[in-house]
Structure 1
């Protein structure tokens, strides 16, 4: 099994520490209602969320709010974070802008939110300015989205146009085993093309780590797991024989492929690095 990751490689721990947040590990959420804001609708309320993930739900929106998504620690690594938001398909009643020093840039129109697609941007691009669209009846309006703070390399690129298709370097493969949300040895059983991505059905013979239950166990007597891993459609992934070492990230409950070398190639690379003392962490390859 994997040994503990060195402290220098641990991802930034983001913990919610403000009264607006609901505590649940590293998850922060905010729920608000325009009914309590209606008397001073011209005021812009500031919302601060200092966690790695969570959600926002604004019922009967009126006026505007500014949502500040930030880590709770000051670190040079924080400047390299990206914010990814996934609107609810029922989200409506507002437009969402990026606000940087008072300058607004449109991020999501009301109709864009209803598509439920993930949108990412650098944390340095500013806060979210959510402004309501005037409606005679606000009783059916709600703005809601999930959010995650992710590293530029392992997170936002999962949704970009082509970056994840680039093969990993040797150093990236070794590091991926230590820092990925899931690490598993297995084979590809099926590849299905969906609207905007490919869904890869995998059978896992050895599960080193998974952040959440993305791989389902076959039972106590069957030491195998099955699951689905996504990749951008443009990568053109195909079924292949043999074992692979699957690594990647979990975004909004979905597994996205990172480095996935053939297992025999990973073993050769790992043992060569082991002889040089260059492995960032230990893997039980027996």
Structure 2
């Protein structure tokens, strides 16, 4: 399918044409969609019902229209990260323009949708965020060359956050220490909470990859930290990698830390990581004043 930088898509919104699947193909947090057999370049409509998850697009041959929105009104940050295997994926944002009609000239009201290109990716893509006060419509289209072999597969991780939320700020956009209140909240509500040490830190263009050895696992909803491969001299110790922005300047510190964060856009992102001694002081005060909202600790 030829990529068109700007095109009128009003016909897609008003009628159903051959090759266009107008029904919602995703009503869960994580879902798998696929282009129809026979090579028809369909346009698949996707509207996940959750505020974070993943859409897996198999046999990616046509295009996908994806609607992302919060469950409540207000300003939000909508972020996606696209992994495109054996194919290039062009991601654009739909912009709606209403054209008023003229009843004297018998011209009907019309709605035009233009595509504003955001980025093109192949392989593991970077995070891209949009701030909006309403639903955001994205248009994903694949470009496949004669040299591409294998099944075309596109994974879209999405994450939607209310901007007004004081704790769940975007960790990939802000770098600041967590307050005591945020530490207590993160300790009780994060996707992973662990005490451990930093083994090493590797950096790429914009992300720091922090290798962690866990000495005490508090909680985790996914296997962020796991037992290392056979032969490790400390078989009961867990290991894992968490991520943070390079611009935060995280360095290889000695001693133990409390690591908290969430699995965001398919990877564990560090949120609050105080030194363990600092955390013990915060925890003791919270216990004495009955401020701790969770039972573990």
Count matched residues.
249
Cα distance between partner residues in 2 of 1:155 and 1:148: 15
- Of 117, 124, 127, which residue of structure 2 is paired with 1:118? 127
> What secondary structure sits across from 1:209 in the alignment?
strand
Give the C-alpha shift of residue 265 in structure 1. 1.0
- Of 249, 252, 257, which residue of structure 2 is paired with 1:236? 249
Tell me the residue number matched to 2:99: none
The structure number with the bigger radius of gyration is: 2
Contact 1:84/1:156, CA 8 A, preserved across alignment: no
- CA RMSD between the two structures: 3.5
Cα distance between partner residues in 1 of 2:272 and 2:183: 6
> What secondary structure sits across from 2:258 in the alignment?
strand
- Closer, same or farther: CA 202–45 of 1 in aligned 2, 3 Å: closer
Cα distance between partner residues in 2 of 1:49 and 1:189: 38
- Of 281, 286, 289, which residue of structure 2 is paired with 1:273? 286
- Closer, same or farther: CA 159–204 of 1 in aligned 2, 3 Å: same
Cα distance between partner residues in 2 of 1:213 and 1:147: 18
- Are 1:96 and 2:91 an aligned pair? yes
Give the C-alpha shift of residue 235 in structure 1. 2.0
Contact 2:93/2:115, CA 8 A, preserved across alignment: yes
Tell me the residue number matched to 2:78: 82
1:89-111: per-residue Cα shift (whole Å, max 9, x none)? 4332x5321124334322123xx
> What secondary structure sits across from 2:188 in the alignment?
helix
Cα distance between partner residues in 1 of 2:79 and 2:205: 24
- Closer, same or farther: CA 236–19 of 1 in aligned 2, 3 Å: closer
* TM-score under structure 2 length normalisation: 0.69
Give the C-alpha shift of residue 283 in structure 1. 3.3
Of the structure 1 ranges 52-61 and 174-183, higher mean CA displacement relative to structure 2 is found in 52-61
Contact 1:34/1:60, CA 8 A, preserved across alignment: no
Cα distance between partner residues in 2 of 1:156 and 1:197: 17
1:210-238: per-residue Cα shift (whole Å, max 9, x none)? 2221212258x943211222222222222
- Of 148, 161, 166, which residue of structure 1 is paired with 2:158? 148
Alignment of 1:1-286 (within 5 A): 20-21=25-26, 26-33=29-36, 35=38, 37-38=40-41, 45-51=44-50, 52-57=52-57, 59=59, 61-62=61-62, 64-70=63-69, 74-76=71-73, 80=76, 82-92=78-88, 95-101=90-96, 102-109=113-120, 112-114=121-123, 116-122=125-131, 124=134, 126-131=136-141, 142=152, 144-151=154-161, 157-160=170-173, 163=174, 165-217=175-227, 222-284=235-297
Cα distance between partner residues in 1 of 2:24 and 2:135: 25
Cα distance between partner residues in 2 of 1:204 and 1:76: 39
1:18-56: per-residue Cα shift (whole Å, max 9, x none)? 972487xx4222222484645xx7xx5533322431223
Name structure 2 gaps, 5 residues minimum.
Answer: 1-22, 97-112
Cα distance between partner residues in 2 of 1:90 and 1:158: 30
- Closer, same or farther: CA 139–237 of 1 in aligned 2, 3 Å: closer
Give the C-alpha shift of residue 177 in structure 1. 0.9
Contact 1:187/1:203, CA 8 A, preserved across alignment: yes
More helix by share: 1
Of the structure 1 ranges 264-273 and 51-60, higher mean CA displacement relative to structure 2 is found in 51-60
More strand by share: 2
- Closer, same or farther: CA 173–144 of 1 in aligned 2, 3 Å: same
